[in-house]
Amino acid sequence: MTRRDYGQYCGLARALELVGERWTLLIMRELLARPSRYTDLLDDLPGIPTNVLSTRLKELEEAGIVERRIAPAPQRGILYAPTEAGQNLQGAVIALALWGNAHLGEQEPNEFVPPSSVVMALRATFNPGAAHGLTATWEIHTGDAVMYAAVADGQLATGVGPAPGEPDLVITVPSDEVLTYRAMMQAISNGAAELTGQQSLLEKFARVFTPRAATKAG
Amino acid sequence: MTRRDYGQYCGLARALELVGERWTLLIMRELLARPSRYTDLLDDLPGIPTNVLSTRLKELEEAGIVERRIAPAPQRGILYAPTEAGQNLQGAVIALALWGNAHLGEQEPNEFVPPSSVVMALRATFNPGAAHGLTATWEIHTGDAVMYAAVADGQLATGVGPAPGEPDLVITVPSDEVLTYRAMMQAISNGAAELTGQQSLLEKFARVFTPRAATKAG
DNA sequence: CTGCATCCACTTTGATACTG
DNA sequence: CAGTATCAAAGTGGATGCAG
């Protein structure tokens, strides 16, 4: 058994060997929310040392969980994005996040809400039934973050950043800081959001993204 | 931000702060499969340093994820067991294990199969529909491991160790080492298992525990 | 500016020995 | 049985340097 391995032929042990080190799953959360450059990740994960980030990215790439892409014309540079194996991690990321939500407590003054965590919450609460037959694109502004969600053919596409196409409805939730998914949804249902576009799509939004109960033990 | 915290108000970050350190989730896998004594854990997690185990148990207890119990009469000593918060971790543990299963590759000579991982696989593949109206207790022997599964009222109770009551069917899968869930189920369906008890319950067993597809990304 | 590599102080982990 | 003590090795955090 080397330092990094557990010597167990077990899915959990292997998962932890691959993505169990400090910062790794937070990096994956960022990349699942949007392909990012090295400096994007440094900005979105304040406190991560540069050498740790570069080591993690290297290891994830070697393991086939993340791939490097050449960023398209306007930006240039390298984009890191999850491979299919990396995308399959989302279920585990969401399961951990749901469990951790119950242990969040009050927000400390030095704690910020990562926009990627709001995107994960949108994916976790997506209700395919309510999205059936609906085609719509929402863009959400809260704090200085921009996120989008698009529904078509009962499928959800969501991420950090402006909507890929023209949004049908822009929802602006006024706030100094990025709000949690929960606070954001509450503000929206309280009518605190400013709307630009097809206002009728606001009700659909609340219906498409509905929290359900977390998984209990078996 | 202290060393251990991420400074993020996010379920994933909080989960990793609580159970993201090395060995922690493997300890939780063991405890989810059966309440264990300190020395049980040392045996079941070969390679874990004693000080790391005691530190982790202390932290998990402080966080309300694990609790100490006085072991009942025959054994004595201290039993560590998951609290309800700890039991709720099972969904995340299983999600990680399912993802890791895809990256297992071939079993290395120095790698062993933890019985607790087989129990997790039983829970992950439990099919409530097929268990409806069935009451049965199976005891499974493979390598030197013993596990049980009991179904009643459509509910599953399973863990490492002998069955709590008298098993209806004892399934012995001959093998030097503990087999993976997959290999075990294959051996059973190949008729390689020795049976003691109500042989008709073997077919039920295979029906109650059926793998389904893993969760894909959204 | 992006995308790292290097250096150093500090913390955590691993291995072993030892104790109530 | 259930840990604690000790120490070396490895990992992490923070600062800085630097090439393309």
What does the pLDDT read at residue A4?
Answer: 81
Q: Provide the whole-model pTM.
A: 0.95
What does the pLDDT read at residue A218?
Answer: 38
How far are the Cα atoms of B172, B184, B196 from residue B191, in angstroms, in the given order? 11, 11, 13
Residue pairs between chains A and B whose CB atoms are closer than 8 Å: 206
B73 pLDDT tier (thresholds 50, 70, 90)? confident
Helix (H) or strand (E) holding B158: strand B155-160
Q: What is the pLDDT of residues A80-93, one digit of tens each?
A: 999 999 999 999 99
Structure tokens at B209: 């525990």
Helix (H) or strand (E) holding B76: none
Q: B98: nearest CA in chain A?
A: A11
What does the pLDDT read at residue A174?
Answer: 96
For residue B77, the tally of other CB atoms under 10 A from its CB is: 11
Q: What is the mean pLDDT of residues B196-205?
A: 97
From B9, B63, B108, residue closest to A107, measured CB to CB = B9
What does the pLDDT read at residue A49?
Answer: 96
What does the pLDDT read at residue B4?
Answer: 81
All residues of chain B having their beta carbon less than 8 Å from the beta carbon of residue A150 are none
Q: Has residue B214 got a pLDDT over 80?
A: no
Kindly tell me the burial class for residue A39, based on how many C-beta atoms sit within 10 Å of its own C-beta (0-12, 13-18, 19 or more). exposed
Amino acid, single-letter form, for residue B64: G
Q: What is the mean pLDDT of residues B193-198?
A: 98
Closest C1' nucleotide to B1's CA: D13
Cβ-defined contact of B92 to A96 (cutoff 8 Å): yes
Which residue ranges in chain A fall short of pLDDT 50? 215-218
Q: B92: nearest CA in chain A?
A: A95
What does the pLDDT read at residue B216?
Answer: 46
Cβ-defined contact of A20 to B22 (cutoff 8 Å): yes
Q: Has residue B212 got a pLDDT over 80?
A: no
Q: What percent of chain B has pLDDT over 70?
A: 96
Residue whose pair of structure tokens reads 């929290």 in the numeric block = A211
Strand D proximity list, CB < 7 Å: A 3-4, 21-23, 47-52, 55; B 1, 3, 37-40, 49-51, 54, 57, 68, 71, 77-79
Q: What is the pLDDT of residues B132-181, one digit of tens each?
A: 999 999 999 999 999 999 999 999 999 999 999 999 999 999 999 999 99
Per the CB < 8 A criterion, the answer to whether B113 and A18 are in contact is no
Mean model confidence pLDDT for chain B:
94
Walk me through the domains of chain B, giving residue ranges and CATH numbers: 11-88 (1.10.10.10), 115-208 (3.30.1050.10)
Q: What is the pLDDT of residues B30-65, one digit of tens each?
A: 999 999 999 999 999 999 999 999 999 999 999 999
Beta partners for A8? Answer: B112
C-alpha neighbours within 13 Å on the C-beta side of residue A95: 22
What does the pLDDT read at residue B217?
Answer: 45
What does the pLDDT read at residue B218?
Answer: 38
Per the CB < 8 A criterion, the answer to whether A176 and A195 are in contact is no
Q: A4: nearest CA in chain B?
A: B22
Structure tokens at A40: 């994007």
